[in-house]
Homo-oligomer: A and B are copies of this chain.
Amino acid sequence: MSVTELPQATTAGLYTEIQQFYAQQMHLLDDGRVEEWAHTFTTDGVFAANAQPVPAVGREAITAAAAAATEAYAKAGVQRRHWLGMVSVEGVDGDAVTARCYALVIETPRGGRPEIKASTLCVDRVLRVDGSWQIQDRQITRDDLI
């Protein structure tokens, strides 16, 4: 029997920085601040999801995708909240961090009940750029599409 050792590549400082970055990043998206959201990715950042035929590559594409979704949700009167949790910082290589977490999308229609729209696995490559964190590569796997 082979038992993988759990990776222990993190420190308190790094772990909480990633947690705080995740919170702030998703607050931006849920607030509809799509250009600021896009700037939480590197200029050549990749956002890939098994729910989409092709990844969004680069800030322009990421902005456009977020803007379209934000507009659709606003029109439908639905508030989205992205919850990222169960964060595991799995690797550190200089200013590059590999992290794995779970992400929920919770939607609440105006006057209605909240529902979990999607449960997903999120695997990120995050870079420290000029003192800030930016996603270089995000891979989202929606549980219903596995």
Cβ contacts A14-35/B at 8 Å (1 or 0 each): 0111011111111100000101
Q: How far is B27's CA from A89's CA once the two chains are assembled, in angstroms? A: 12
Q: Is the CB of B86 within 8 A of A27?
A: yes
Least Cβ–Cβ distance between A124 and chain B, in angstroms: 13
Q: How far is B4's CA from A132's CA once the two chains are assembled, in angstroms? A: 12
- Looking at the complex, which one of B40, B89, B144 makes contact with A108 (CB distance below 8 Å)? B144
Q: Is the CB of A7 within 8 A of B24?
A: yes
Q: Is the CB of A88 within 8 A of B118?
A: no
Q: Is the CB of A10 within 8 A of B6?
A: no
- Looking at the complex, which one of B5, B116, B132 makes contact with A6 (CB distance below 8 Å)? B132
- Looking at the complex, which one of B20, B33, B86 makes contact with A23 (CB distance below 8 Å)? B86
Q: How far is B145's CA from A26's CA once the two chains are assembled, in angstroms? A: 21
User: 15 A-B residue contacts at CB 8 Å?
Assistant: A3-B39, A4-B33, A7-B24, A10-B16, A11-B12, A12-B16, A79-B143, A81-B86, A82-B86, A84-B86, A85-B85, A110-B146, A112-B144, A113-B117, A114-B144
